[in-house]
Amino acid sequence: MSNRYINRLSLFLLFFLLSATIAPATAPAQGGSPAIYTIGCILPLTGRNAVYGNATLEAVMLAAGVFDPLSKSPFRLVIEDSKSETEAARLAAQKLAAQTDVICILGPLGSAEAIEAAQEAQKAGVPILTFTQNEKITDIGNCVFRYFSSGRMQVRTLVKYAVRDMGIARFAILYPDDDYGREMMKFFWEEVLSRGGQIKTTMSYDKIQTDFEEEIIALKTPKPALPGNNQAPSGFAPDFDALFIPDSYLRVNMIVPQLAFHDVTGVHLLGTGAWDSPDLLKENSAYLEGAIFTDDFYLDSFYPEVSDFIDAFYAAYRREPGGLEALVYDAARIAVKVIAEKRIETREQFRNSLLEIKSFPGVTGKTSISVDRDVEKDAFLLMVRNGQIMQIK
């Protein structure tokens, strides 16, 4: 039997499961307004991003209560396949918007697909929660919401903790000269200044570089305080208390031994979710002791809602969820909560109720929806302690 046939058979069984277990519990409201238990969903179930689409569909199904053994789910999911294509995403949004029993849309994934779907949803006045890193997508209109993590959120959590809780005021940045490195450097710089801290120095390196001697020596050489000051630096000790390295755990493992070799010690090492891997500590755990970094989701979190989610996800699918599934699960749970608790009868009521979400206890952290219809949340704070990664907040 070919893999293509197996994939199609799996997709058929998945849609059969949906239609069999998520039937509408109520008739459409009077006057053509949407039924209160119907949610539309656009995800790439086929095409290049199918693996992500099917994984997130599992998260939506779990949030809708498909696998609740105590009661039959009252929610009906109307699923459309974006096929990992922008035109398919646009047509899917059109189709869902035309169905008056669809009160909101979840998805799609990806920037280009999300933009096309959001434009169609806005035309029809259907609230849509997009899963994209594009922070400007909400500019399309007042029905467009963005529910996704961002590097800015991770950096905000990290700097807030470093300044407020650790009392650090002087920072340096060592970053890769690529899109991710430059963006995170910019976010970190802005956040430090906004909290009254100082950026003492920044150094970039090539993304394929393995020897960082030149950059490290430059980092630990204090620079003149004012432009035009020709006074020679006094010594070569670092004049900063924390060093931010927004790169993968692979390159961090290359950098930290070289920092120690060049006597850059006694400074706090700070990082992003790109550090979060068990392999981070395989070789250089001693150099990373006390390092702090953030991530959007943490499997070993001490928050009870996280462990409950992991248990439920594993019971349903026999695997542990990743960060994307956790994020989409939270978005779907918020939609379910709003519809069920507010007894929503119109799309406008749903849109207005989303704007009232504050400190929702999600598995990816406490979540609020801003007036700009963007998600706001704190990332998980993680620390290397006694050779292990542990959550500290």
Of the three residues 274, 295, 316, the one that is the final residue of a domain is 295
Last residue of a domain, one of 273, 295, 317: 295
pLDDT band at 26 (very low <50, low <70, confident <90, very high): very low
Q: Do residues 182 and 104 share a domain?
A: no
Kindly state whether residues 257 and 202 are assigned to the same domain: yes
| Residue 222 maps to a domain | yes
Q: 156 pLDDT band (50/70/90 cuts)?
A: very high
Rounded Cα distance between 292 and 161, Å, is 10
In this structure, which long-range contacts are made by residues 63-72, counting pairs with CB atoms below 8 Å and at least 24 apart in sequence?
63/329, 63/332, 63/333, 63/335, 63/336, 64/22, 64/39, 64/332, 64/336, 65/336, 66/17, 66/18, 66/21, 66/22, 66/316, 67/312, 67/315, 67/316, 72/21, 72/25
Distance CA 274, CA 183 (A): 14
Whole-angstrom CA distances from 76 to 27, 287, 323 are 11, 52, 25
In whole angstroms, what is the distance from residue 81 CA to residue 41 CA? 8
Say how many C-beta atoms besides its own lie within 10 A of residue 346's C-beta: 15
- How many separate domains does the chain show? 2
User: Does a structural domain hold residue 386?
Assistant: no
Q: Of the residues 295, 329, 345, which one is the last residue of a structural domain?
A: 295
Percent with pLDDT over 90 in the chain: 75
Cα-only R_g, the chain: 24
Do 178 and 124 fall within a single domain? no
Q: What letters, b where the CB count within 10 A reaches 16 and e where it falls short, cover 294-316?
A: bbbbbeebebeebeebbebbeee
Residue 141 Rama label (left phi>0; alpha psi -120 to 50; beta): left
Q: Cβ distance 166 to 173 under 8 Å? A: no
Tell me the pLDDT tens digit for each residue of 100-129: 899 999 999 989 999 999 999 999 999 999
Residue 236: pLDDT band (50, 70, 90) is low
Write the CA distances from 270 to 42, 62, 169, 187, 386, integer angstroms. Answer: 37, 35, 13, 14, 17
Tell me the C-alpha distance between 320 and 310, whole Å: 6
Which tops the pLDDT comparison, 72 or 245? 245
Segment 203-210 shows an average pLDDT of 94
Give pLDDT, residue 290.
Answer: 96
Between 139 and 8, the more confident residue is 139
pLDDT for the residue 17: 40
Q: Is the domain of 218 the same as that of 129? A: no
Examine the pLDDT at 214 and tell me if it is beyond 50: yes
CATH number (domain holding residue 215): 3.40.50.2300
Overall average pLDDT of the 281-301 stretch: 93
Burial of 337 (0-12, 13-18, 19+ CB in 10 A): middle
| Together in a domain, 80 and 175 | no
**Half-sphere exposure (Cβ direction) of 233: Cα atoms closer than 13 Å:** 13
SS3 of residue 29 by DSSP: coil
Assess whether 204 and 80 both reside in one domain. no
Residues in contact with 53: Cβ distance below 8 Å, sequence separation at least 6, in sequence order: 43, 44, 45, 46, 81, 82, 84, 109
CA distances from 300 to 58, 120, 144, 390 (A): 21, 40, 33, 8
Which whole number is the average pLDDT over 275-290?
A: 92
Do 139 and 21 have their domain in common? yes
pLDDT value of position 220: 80
CA distance 387 to 20: 48
pTM, two decimal places: 0.84
Instruction: State whether 273 and 178 are in the same domain.
Output: yes
> Domain containing 237: what range?
151-295
Residue 271 within a domain: yes
Tell me, yes or no, whether 54 lies in a domain: yes
User: Average of pLDDT values for 58-67?
Assistant: 89
What pLDDT, on the 0 to 100 scale, is given for residue 284?
A: 83
Q: What's the N-to-C CA distance of the chain in angstroms?
A: 49
Do 141 and 22 lie in one domain? The reply is yes
Residue 166: the pLDDT is 96
- Interval 355-370 mean pLDDT: 94
Q: Give residue 187's pLDDT band: very low, low, confident or very high (50, 70, 90).
A: very high
- Same domain as 55, residue 190: no
In a domain? residue 384:
no
pLDDT at 367 over 50: yes
pLDDT at res. 226: 47
**Alpha-carbon distances, residue 337 vs 36, 283, 318, 333 (angstroms):** 11, 45, 26, 6
Q: Does the pLDDT value for residue 227 go beyond 60?
A: no
Which candidate, 388, 377, 210, 185, places its Cα nearest to that of 271? 185
- Flag whether 363 is in a domain: yes
| Shared domain check, 231 and 131 | no
Candidate from 131-135, 213-217, 227-231 with smallest mean pLDDT? 227-231
Q: Please report whether residue 387 resides in a domain.
A: no
Q: Is residue 390 assigned to a domain? A: no
Other C-beta atoms closer than 10 Å to the C-beta of 129 total 27
**Contact assessment for residue 127 and residue 105, using Cβ atoms and an 8 Å cutoff:** yes
For residues 34-63, average pLDDT = 90
For strand 365-369 and strand 375-377, is the pairing parallel, antiparallel, or unpaired? antiparallel
Question: Looking at the structure, do residues 86 and 214 belong to the same domain, yes or no?
Answer: no
pLDDT at site 71 = 64
